[in-house]
Chains A and B, each alone.
Chain A
Amino acid sequence: MRPLLTINRVLLIAALLILLGYFMVYIVYTVNLMHFPFDYDQGEGFELVDTILFSQGQFPYRNTDVYPFYSSNYPPLFHVIAAPFVWIFGDAYWYGRMLGALGTILTASMIGCVVWREGRRRDLALLSALAFLASNTIYHIAPLFRQHMTMVLFETFAVVLLAGANEITDARRRRTVIALALLTIIAAGYTKQLAVFTAAAALIFLFIRQPRRALIAGVTFALVGGAIFLWLIWATDGEWWRQAIRANVNLINYDQTVGLFRLWWNLHGFLIVPAALLVLYELYFARLSIFSVWFIASLGQGALSGTWGGGDSYFATSIAALCILSGIFAARTVNHAWHFPENYVSRRLILPFRRAAPAIASMGLILIPIVYIGYGRAVLHMPTEGAVFETIANVLNIQPNALNGFYDSATRIVGGYADIGHLTTQSDIDAGWRIVELIRQSEQPVLSEEAGFSLQARRDVITNPTQLLNLSLNGMYNGDNLIAMIENREFGAVILRAQFYPVDVLQAVALHYEQRETIYMNGFNYLILRPRS
Chain B
Amino acid sequence: MNIFSKSFTLTKRALGVLLTLSGVIGFAAILAVDLLDMGREGGIGPAQRIALGLCAALTLLGLTLIPLGKAEA
Contact = CB atoms under 8 A, between A and B. Distances in A.
Interface in B1-59: 3-6, 8-10, 15, 45-47
B65 A211 contact: no
Interface in A338-387: 341, 343-345
Nearest to B69: A343
Contacts of B9: 208-210
Contact of A254 (B4, B47, B72): B47
Nearest to B3: A211
Contacts of A122: none
A230 interface: no
A288 B73 contact: yes
B54 to A, nearest CB: 10
B6 A212 contact: yes
Given A254-B46, A254-B47, A343-B68, A212 B73 contact: no
A329 to B, nearest CB: 20
B71 A341 contact: yes
Contact of A212 (B4, B65, B68): B4
A35 interface: no
B73 A287 contact: yes
A345 B34 CA distance: 38
A211 B2 CA distance: 10
A344 B6 contact: no
Contacts of B68: 284, 343-345
A252 interface: yes
A287 B72 CA distance: 6
Given A254-B47, A288-B73, A343-B71, A283 B8 contact: no
Given A207-B10, A210-B8, A212-B6, 14 more contacts: A208-B73, A210-B6, A210-B9, A211-B8, A212-B3, A212-B8, A252-B47, A254-B46, A284-B68, A287-B73, A343-B68, A343-B71, A344-B67, A345-B68
For this complex, into which size category does the number of interface residues on chain A fall? Answer: 10 to 19
Nearest to A211: B3
Contacts of B4: 211-212, 215
Interface in A195-209: 207-209
A344 B16 CA distance: 15
Contact of B10 (A208, A215, A284): A208
B48 to A, nearest CB: 10
Nearest to A299: B54
B18 to A, nearest CB: 9
Top 3 nearest A-B pairs by Cβ distance? A212-B4, A208-B10, A211-B3
24 contacts: A207-B10, A208-B10, A208-B15, A209-B9, A209-B10, A210-B9, A211-B3, A211-B4, A211-B8, A211-B10, A212-B4, A212-B6, A215-B4, A252-B47, A254-B45, A254-B46, A283-B61, A284-B68, A287-B72, A287-B73, A288-B15, A341-B71, A344-B68, A345-B64
A345 B61 CA distance: 13
Contacts of B47: 252, 254
Contacts of A254: 45-47
Given A252-B47, A254-B47, A212 B71 contact: no
Contact of B65 (A207, A283, A287, A341): A283
B47 to A, nearest CB: 5
Contacts of A207: 10
Q: Which of B6, B9, B15, B61 has the most CB of A within 10 A?
A: B9
A211 B5 CA distance: 8
A284 B61 CA distance: 10
A215 B67 CA distance: 27
A45 B23 CA distance: 44
A124 B46 CA distance: 40
Contacts of B72: 287
Contacts of A208: 9-10, 15, 73
Nearest to B6: A212
Nearest to B47: A254
Nearest to B2: A212
Contacts of A344: 67-68
Nearest to B7: A210
Contacts of B67: 343-344
